[in-house]
Amino acid sequence: MTDVSGLSIGILGGTGDQGKGLARRFALAGLKVVIGSRRAERAREAAESIGAGATGADNAVVAAECDLVIVAVPYDGHKALLESLATQLAGKIVVDCVNPLGFDKQGAYALPVEEGSAAQQAAAVLPESRVVAAFHHVSAVVLMDPAVEKVDLDVLVLGDDREATDTVQALADLIPGVRGVYGGRLRNAFQVEALTANIISVNRRYKAHAGIRVTDI
Protein backbone atom coordinates (compact mmCIF):
# COMPACT_ATOMS: atom_id res chain seq x y z
CA MET A 1 0.00 0.00 0.00
CA THR A 2 1.41 3.37 -1.02
CA ASP A 3 1.90 5.79 1.87
CA VAL A 4 0.37 9.16 0.99
CA SER A 5 0.28 10.58 4.52
CA GLY A 6 3.17 12.97 3.85
CA LEU A 7 1.85 14.40 0.59
CA SER A 8 0.60 17.96 0.26
CA ILE A 9 -2.52 18.12 -1.90
CA GLY A 10 -3.30 21.18 -4.01
CA ILE A 11 -6.68 21.69 -5.64
CA LEU A 12 -6.97 23.97 -8.67
CA GLY A 13 -10.43 25.54 -8.66
CA GLY A 14 -10.78 24.31 -5.09
CA THR A 15 -13.29 27.07 -4.30
CA GLY A 16 -16.02 25.14 -6.17
CA ASP A 17 -18.23 22.41 -4.75
CA GLN A 18 -16.13 19.48 -5.92
CA GLY A 19 -12.80 20.98 -4.89
CA LYS A 20 -14.08 21.99 -1.48
CA GLY A 21 -15.61 18.57 -0.93
CA LEU A 22 -12.38 16.73 -1.76
CA ALA A 23 -10.36 19.27 0.23
CA ARG A 24 -12.55 18.72 3.26
CA ARG A 25 -12.21 14.94 3.17
CA PHE A 26 -8.43 14.97 2.64
CA ALA A 27 -7.92 17.60 5.34
CA LEU A 28 -10.03 15.52 7.74
CA ALA A 29 -7.79 12.55 6.86
CA GLY A 30 -4.83 14.58 8.13
CA LEU A 31 -3.25 15.65 4.84
CA LYS A 32 -1.90 19.12 4.17
CA VAL A 33 -4.41 20.61 1.74
CA VAL A 34 -4.11 23.88 -0.19
CA ILE A 35 -7.12 25.22 -2.05
CA GLY A 36 -6.38 27.06 -5.28
CA SER A 37 -8.29 29.82 -7.03
CA ARG A 38 -7.75 32.48 -9.64
CA ARG A 39 -7.99 34.85 -6.63
CA ALA A 40 -5.96 34.02 -3.54
CA GLU A 41 -8.43 35.79 -1.26
CA ARG A 42 -11.27 33.57 -2.49
CA ALA A 43 -9.09 30.50 -1.89
CA ARG A 44 -8.34 31.59 1.68
CA GLU A 45 -12.05 32.15 2.37
CA ALA A 46 -12.89 28.70 1.02
CA ALA A 47 -10.13 27.12 3.13
CA GLU A 48 -11.44 28.88 6.23
CA SER A 49 -14.96 27.61 5.53
CA ILE A 50 -13.64 24.03 5.42
CA GLY A 51 -11.38 24.22 8.47
CA ALA A 52 -9.34 21.12 9.39
CA GLY A 53 -6.12 23.01 8.67
CA ALA A 54 -6.75 23.67 4.96
CA THR A 55 -5.13 26.80 3.54
CA GLY A 56 -5.63 28.78 0.33
CA ALA A 57 -3.46 30.38 -2.37
CA ASP A 58 -3.69 31.31 -6.01
CA ASN A 59 -3.63 28.45 -8.52
CA ALA A 60 -0.05 29.11 -9.65
CA VAL A 61 1.30 28.93 -6.08
CA VAL A 62 -0.69 25.75 -5.44
CA ALA A 63 0.66 24.17 -8.63
CA ALA A 64 4.23 25.12 -7.75
CA GLU A 65 4.22 24.17 -4.07
CA CYS A 66 2.03 21.08 -3.66
CA ASP A 67 3.23 17.50 -4.21
CA LEU A 68 0.07 16.30 -5.94
CA VAL A 69 -2.42 18.58 -7.68
CA ILE A 70 -6.10 17.91 -8.37
CA VAL A 71 -7.82 19.76 -11.21
CA ALA A 72 -11.40 20.69 -10.24
CA VAL A 73 -12.39 23.43 -12.67
CA PRO A 74 -15.23 23.38 -15.22
CA TYR A 75 -14.33 21.84 -18.59
CA ASP A 76 -14.65 25.29 -20.21
CA GLY A 77 -11.61 26.62 -18.36
CA HIS A 78 -9.67 23.35 -18.16
CA LYS A 79 -7.29 23.53 -21.12
CA ALA A 80 -6.32 27.19 -20.75
CA LEU A 81 -5.68 26.88 -17.01
CA LEU A 82 -3.47 23.80 -17.41
CA GLU A 83 -1.56 25.35 -20.32
CA SER A 84 -0.77 28.33 -18.08
CA LEU A 85 0.54 26.06 -15.29
CA ALA A 86 2.53 23.50 -17.32
CA THR A 87 5.87 24.62 -15.90
CA GLN A 88 4.74 24.49 -12.27
CA LEU A 89 3.08 21.08 -12.76
CA ALA A 90 6.06 19.42 -14.48
CA GLY A 91 7.07 16.17 -12.78
CA LYS A 92 3.97 16.06 -10.55
CA ILE A 93 1.00 13.78 -10.32
CA VAL A 94 -1.95 15.76 -11.70
CA VAL A 95 -5.36 14.26 -10.94
CA ASP A 96 -8.12 15.23 -13.33
CA CYS A 97 -11.76 14.84 -12.23
CA VAL A 98 -13.26 17.00 -14.96
CA ASN A 99 -16.42 15.76 -16.68
CA PRO A 100 -17.00 17.43 -20.06
CA LEU A 101 -20.80 17.50 -20.05
CA GLY A 102 -23.53 19.43 -21.74
CA PHE A 103 -27.05 19.91 -20.42
CA ASP A 104 -30.29 20.35 -22.35
CA LYS A 105 -33.99 19.57 -21.87
CA GLN A 106 -33.22 15.84 -21.89
CA GLY A 107 -30.63 16.20 -19.14
CA ALA A 108 -26.87 15.68 -19.12
CA TYR A 109 -24.86 14.32 -22.04
CA ALA A 110 -21.15 13.79 -22.78
CA LEU A 111 -19.40 16.40 -24.91
CA PRO A 112 -16.89 15.27 -27.54
CA VAL A 113 -13.29 16.20 -26.70
CA GLU A 114 -10.73 16.55 -29.46
CA GLU A 115 -8.00 14.78 -27.45
CA GLY A 116 -10.39 11.95 -26.47
CA SER A 117 -11.25 13.02 -22.92
CA ALA A 118 -10.56 15.81 -20.46
CA ALA A 119 -7.84 13.66 -18.87
CA GLN A 120 -6.15 13.10 -22.23
CA GLN A 121 -6.42 16.82 -22.91
CA ALA A 122 -4.59 17.39 -19.60
CA ALA A 123 -1.90 14.89 -20.62
CA ALA A 124 -1.54 16.62 -23.99
CA VAL A 125 -0.96 20.07 -22.49
CA LEU A 126 1.11 18.73 -19.56
CA PRO A 127 3.63 16.41 -21.26
CA GLU A 128 5.99 16.61 -18.28
CA SER A 129 3.31 15.70 -15.70
CA ARG A 130 1.96 12.32 -14.57
CA VAL A 131 -1.73 12.70 -15.36
CA VAL A 132 -4.23 10.44 -13.61
CA ALA A 133 -8.02 10.49 -14.03
CA ALA A 134 -10.10 9.94 -10.86
CA PHE A 135 -12.97 11.17 -8.65
CA HIS A 136 -15.43 11.71 -11.55
CA HIS A 137 -18.38 10.04 -9.87
CA VAL A 138 -18.02 11.39 -6.33
CA SER A 139 -20.84 13.74 -5.41
CA ALA A 140 -19.68 17.05 -3.98
CA VAL A 141 -22.86 17.18 -1.89
CA VAL A 142 -21.95 13.91 -0.22
CA LEU A 143 -18.33 14.96 0.33
CA MET A 144 -19.48 18.15 2.06
CA ASP A 145 -22.23 16.55 4.16
CA PRO A 146 -21.03 16.21 7.78
CA ALA A 147 -23.75 13.59 8.34
CA VAL A 148 -22.08 11.29 5.77
CA GLU A 149 -19.33 9.55 7.72
CA LYS A 150 -18.75 6.86 5.10
CA VAL A 151 -18.91 7.62 1.39
CA ASP A 152 -20.30 4.49 -0.23
CA LEU A 153 -18.56 4.17 -3.61
CA ASP A 154 -15.52 3.08 -5.60
CA VAL A 155 -13.33 5.64 -7.33
CA LEU A 156 -12.10 4.51 -10.74
CA VAL A 157 -8.47 5.56 -11.18
CA LEU A 158 -7.01 5.63 -14.70
CA GLY A 159 -3.55 6.37 -15.97
CA ASP A 160 -0.45 5.16 -17.77
CA ASP A 161 1.95 5.43 -14.81
CA ARG A 162 1.53 2.56 -12.33
CA GLU A 163 3.17 4.35 -9.42
CA ALA A 164 0.96 7.39 -10.00
CA THR A 165 -2.28 5.38 -10.18
CA ASP A 166 -1.25 3.44 -7.03
CA THR A 167 -0.73 6.77 -5.26
CA VAL A 168 -4.14 8.10 -6.31
CA GLN A 169 -5.84 4.83 -5.32
CA ALA A 170 -4.27 5.21 -1.87
CA LEU A 171 -5.46 8.82 -1.76
CA ALA A 172 -9.03 7.74 -2.58
CA ASP A 173 -8.80 5.08 0.15
CA LEU A 174 -8.28 7.84 2.74
CA ILE A 175 -11.92 8.89 2.40
CA PRO A 176 -13.87 6.63 4.77
CA GLY A 177 -15.96 4.10 2.80
CA VAL A 178 -14.21 4.79 -0.51
CA ARG A 179 -12.09 2.30 -2.41
CA GLY A 180 -9.74 3.34 -5.20
CA VAL A 181 -9.94 0.85 -8.08
CA TYR A 182 -7.63 0.81 -11.08
CA GLY A 183 -9.81 1.44 -14.14
CA GLY A 184 -7.43 1.26 -17.08
CA ARG A 185 -5.15 3.42 -19.17
CA LEU A 186 -5.79 7.09 -19.77
CA ARG A 187 -7.14 6.33 -23.25
CA ASN A 188 -10.16 4.80 -21.51
CA ALA A 189 -11.01 7.97 -19.58
CA PHE A 190 -13.72 9.14 -21.99
CA GLN A 191 -16.30 6.59 -20.94
CA VAL A 192 -15.58 7.17 -17.24
CA GLU A 193 -16.13 10.91 -17.69
CA ALA A 194 -19.19 10.27 -19.88
CA LEU A 195 -20.71 7.81 -17.37
CA THR A 196 -21.27 10.82 -15.13
CA ALA A 197 -24.11 11.85 -17.46
CA ASN A 198 -25.81 8.50 -16.70
CA ILE A 199 -25.22 8.95 -12.98
CA ILE A 200 -26.79 12.42 -13.12
CA SER A 201 -29.82 10.83 -14.83
CA VAL A 202 -30.02 8.24 -12.02
CA ASN A 203 -29.77 11.01 -9.43
CA ARG A 204 -32.58 12.97 -11.05
CA ARG A 205 -34.93 9.99 -11.39
CA TYR A 206 -34.31 8.58 -7.91
CA LYS A 207 -33.52 11.83 -6.10
CA ALA A 208 -30.19 10.38 -4.98
CA HIS A 209 -26.46 11.00 -4.96
CA ALA A 210 -25.51 7.72 -6.61
CA GLY A 211 -22.04 6.24 -6.82
CA ILE A 212 -20.71 3.08 -8.43
CA ARG A 213 -19.28 -0.15 -6.96
CA VAL A 214 -17.14 -2.67 -8.85
CA THR A 215 -17.87 -6.26 -7.77
CA ASP A 216 -15.69 -9.37 -7.41
CA ILE A 217 -12.41 -7.62 -6.65
Ligand X SMILES: NC(=O)c1ccc[n+]([C@@H]2O[C@H](COP(=O)([O-])OP(=O)(O)OC[C@H]3O[C@@H](n4cnc5c(N)ncnc54)[C@H](OP(=O)(O)O)[C@@H]3O)[C@@H](O)[C@H]2O)c1
Which CB sits closer to ligand X, 72 or 186? 72
Instruction: Map the footprint of ligand X across residues 140-199, applying CB under 6 A.
Output: 140
Instruction: Map the footprint of ligand X across residues 101-140, applying CB under 6 A.
Output: 136, 138-140
Which of 7, 33, 57, 98 forms a contact with ligand X (CB under 6 A)? 98
Which CB sits closer to ligand X, 80 or 216? 80
Which CB sits closer to ligand X, 7 or 200? 200
Tell me the three-class secondary structure of 8-37, residue by residue. EEEEECCCCHHHHHHHHHHHHCCCEEEEEE
Q: What are phi and psi of 134, to 5 degrees?
A: -165, 165
Under 8 Å between Cβ of 131 and 186: yes
Give Cα 86 to chain centroid, integer Å.
18
CB of 119 to ligand X, least distance (A): 11
Instruction: Map the footprint of ligand X across residues 38-77, applying CB under 6 A.
Output: 38-39, 42, 72-77
Say how far apart CA 115 and CA 72 lie, in whole Å. 19
Which of 2, 8, 16, 212 forms a contact with ligand X (CB under 6 A)? 16
Which CB sits closer to ligand X, 99 or 167? 99
Say how far apart CA 217 and CA 214 lie, in whole Å. 7
